[in-house]
Amino acid sequence: MTNQQMTIETIEKEIYTNEEEWELATFGMGCFWGPDARFGSMAGIMRTRVGFAGGTTPTPSYRMMGDHTETLQIEYDPQVISYATILKEFWRNHYPNRDNYKGRQYISLLHYHTDQQKQTIETIRKEMEAELGESIETEVALFSQFTLAEERHQKYYLKRYPKALDQLETLYPNKDMLVDSIFAARLNGFVKGFGTKDSLRKEINQWSIGETEKTFLTSLFLSLKW
Q: Is the pLDDT of residue 188 over 60?
A: yes
Angstrom distances, CA of residue 189 to CA of 8, 32, 85, 150, 200 = 18, 13, 18, 19, 10
Give the whole-number percent of the chain exceeding pLDDT 90.
Answer: 85
Provide the pLDDT for residue 3.
Answer: 56
- Under the banding of pLDDT at 50, 70 and 90, the label for residue 160 is very high
CA-angle at 96, arms to 57 and 26, nearest 5°: 50
Segment (H or E) for 109: strand 108-112
Average pLDDT over residues 88-107: 87
Average pLDDT over residues 131-138: 94
Provide the pLDDT for residue 9.
Answer: 85
Q: Is the pLDDT of residue 2 over 80?
A: no
Average pLDDT over residues 74-95: 97
CA atoms of 4 and 104, how far apart (whole Å)? 46
Classify residue 56 as left (phi > 0), alpha (psi -120 to 50) or beta. Answer: alpha
Angstrom distances, CA of residue 38 to CA of 33, 58, 191, 217 = 9, 29, 10, 21
Provide the pLDDT for residue 97.
Answer: 85
Mean pLDDT (the chain) is 94
Which of 190, 177, 206, 220 is CA-nearest to residue 40? 190
Say what angle helices 197-206 and 182-191 make with each other, to 10 degrees.
Answer: 170
Q: pLDDT tens digits, residue range 197-220?
A: 999 999 999 999 999 999 999 999
- Under the banding of pLDDT at 50, 70 and 90, the label for residue 99 is low
**Which range, of 59-73, 80-94, 163-177, averages the lowest pLDDT?**
163-177
Domains of the chain as residue ranges with CATH? 3-14+154-223 (3.30.1060.10), 19-148 (3.30.1060.10)
Provide the pLDDT for residue 112.
Answer: 98
Average pLDDT over residues 151-177: 92
Indicate which residues carry an active-site annotation. 31
Provide the pLDDT for residue 84.
Answer: 98
Q: Is the pLDDT of residue 32 over 60?
A: yes
Segment (H or E) for 70: strand 69-76
> Distance between alpha carbon 77 and the CA centroid of its chain, in Å?
13
Asked if 127 contacts 84 with a C-beta cutoff of 8 angstroms, the reply is no
